[in-house]
Amino acid sequence: MSAPTHDDRGPRRDDTSTDDEAREHEAGTAGHDALGDTFEDDDDDDHDHGGPDDDADEGAAADEEGEGPSLVDESQFADADDAGDDDDDVPMHFSAVAHPEAEEPLPPQPESSEPPEIPNDLIDADALWVVRRLQAKGFEAYLTGGCVRDLLLGRTPKDFDVATAAHPNQVKSVFRNCRLVGRRFRLAHVFFPSGKVIETATFRANPIDELDDLPSDLLVSRDNVFGTVEQDARRRDLTINGLFYDPLKGKVLDFVDGRADLEARLIRTIGTPEVRFQEDPVRIIRAIKFATRLGFSIEQQTLAGMRAAVGGLVRCAPARLQEELLRLLTSGHAANALDLCAAVGVGAAIMPELEAAFDVPLEPRPVVVALPEAIAATEPAVGPEPPNEPSAVGDAEPPAPIAVPETLTVPLPTPAERRARAKKLLEALDAARGRDLDITSAMAFSVLIAPVWEAMKPSTTPFDAWLADTLQAWSERLRLTRHDKERVPQILDGQDDLVAHKRRGQVGRSVTHRPSFRESLLLLTLRRWASDEPLDEIGLWKVMAASASAPYQQPRLSERAPRMRAATHVGGSDRGGGRRRDRGGRRRRR
């Protein structure tokens, strides 16, 4: 079924709509203009956003001001190889909008005589309704991306996303509970009273496929060419993410042999790996993410293409690099993912400072272990003093012995031992994630740096200077927020403050009231787990914190409140929407 026209104005609203419904729709649209923000979860795992890097930089100002969100709004530079995995909260003004099922009834849909390839009771009812309504209005529409992949693997999808032949404004005209986001890559978010959002994207084509000759630079910076469902499948990153499902006919649409790779548990690019990774090098990190999360192997030509294109990561939007890196670190499979990153060269490309620190030669610094009461500073003179020769100091008493400290040189970990320690810490981080602990971005970066901190602390290398230079480089290459740049040193410094002799009186109580206390305590816990050491001191610090009425329990991921982040609002026209700050307070001075 094809779209009726390419007119982006969309079809007229149904004549059966009442004046009250029209007014309600207009009020909702006005509310969008006033709101300018969306509530979205951070786990937008299945997007392959390969869009313009300049859009990705627009949200930097708010994040640089303070803590900011650890993840950024990707709708402005979306590549939509997979429709998203976001759990969005419905804006306040949508609470007055009736549930879509209260609108005019849909015409009956033809049912297939064969059993569906995916049972409908496994599909989200609201996503099913969106597909059915779009098809009833004459548009091709399918479930797409990660939800189809997960259902075929017997997994429970986090989100259900829709791809359609309808252009964004046409989608908006079909659903009065709809909002458009993005400037160049426009997506439709269909809201439901429960707070659920069904992301609906228009079929796109690869812009490079529209050219007669391949350009010398394959990096895709503009990606907003409408296409067909087959073109949309072939422009995606991996075969397992290029599947579509028609829930009304009960059929899977597979243009890229994705089902065969699902059965073979194989990660493979769609098309030539070298070309696909040059178009968007961030796909290298995404391939690693899916391989470790699903337990799949990476096909050999795909792996070779990843190694060949890894140098292009430095040209990608810093916000996207941070986004995908944090997803690796907080996925619960960070240890295996970082092993693959090292094998491919991702770490050397985007975090060369950390890679170099694992291998840099370190000189041990002598550590004072005892200070004797008296140790002679000089040896007695050789031979007897000449007779009748006056002493140089007369009758003064001989000098008192000078105390010389007793020192010990602590052996430092070798490069291999540092890397093994890093692997242990990441395994501990995965265990914490498996216990539903909410891992902040500052905490994730602290775990990465902790093995270097442990190795450099007893050495002559100044760790504080190295850390300051490293965080500054990462803020430019990975867009670390100012909050993370300040919090990571606090978490690491807190390790020394959590030693046993400081757990007394006012000193201990003051430590528990520091903003970084819980993260420092979690890092200490991970370090003890990684060393198979007892956790007695962790419990004592919790008792101290409880007595000081300080928070000490680690936040749970399942208890995290939806994070509000800015998004570009595009009303019903092609104008670029303005964006508002994602929190109150003073504006940045220009």
Q: Which residues are catalytic?
A: 159, 161, 237
Is residue 445 exposed (0-12), middle (13-18) or buried (19+ Cβ within 10 Å)? Answer: buried
Residue 290: how many CA atoms within 13 Å on its side-chain side? 29
For residue 332, give Cα distances in angstroms to 326, 335, 579.
11, 8, 34
- Report the alpha-carbon distance of residue 196 to residue 185 in Å, rounded: 22
Contact (Cβ atoms closer than 8 angstroms) between residue 490 and residue 464: no
- Report the alpha-carbon distance of residue 534 to residue 522 in Å, rounded: 14
Coil, strand or helix: which one is 95?
A: helix
Contact (Cβ atoms closer than 8 angstroms) between residue 442 and residue 562: no
- Report the alpha-carbon distance of residue 247 to residue 522 in Å, rounded: 45
- Report the alpha-carbon distance of residue 45 to residue 286 in Å, rounded: 9
For CA atoms 66, 427, 415, 520, the dihedral sign is positive
For 92-233, where are the E strands, in sequence order? 141-144, 161-164, 178-181, 187-191, 197-202, 204-205, 225-226
**DSSP assignment, residue 390?**
P
Over 455-483, what HEC string results? Answer: HHCCECCCHHHHHHHHHHHHHHHCCCCHH
Alpha helices in 409-535 (DSSP H): 415-434, 441-456, 463-477, 482-497, 505-512, 517-530
Contact (Cβ atoms closer than 8 angstroms) between residue 258 and residue 239: yes
For residue 585, give Cα distances in angstroms to 62, 368, 562.
11, 50, 20
Is residue 131 exposed (0-12), middle (13-18) or buried (19+ Cβ within 10 Å)? Answer: buried
Q: Which of 516, 513, 509 is nearest to 547 (CA)?
A: 509
Long-range own/partner contacts, residues 299-302 (CB < 8 A, 24 or more apart):
299/261, 299/266, 299/267, 299/268, 301/268, 301/273, 302/267, 302/268, 302/269, 302/273
Q: Which of 419, 434, 219, 246 is nearest to 309 (CA)?
A: 219
**Helix-strand-coil split of the chain, %, nearest 5:** 45, 10, 45
Contact (Cβ atoms closer than 8 angstroms) between residue 567 and residue 581: no
Helices (H) and strands (E) in the chain, counts: 22, 16
Give me the residue label for tokens 């009956």. Answer: 108
Q: Which of 92, 71, 72, 75 is nearest to 28 (CA)?
A: 92
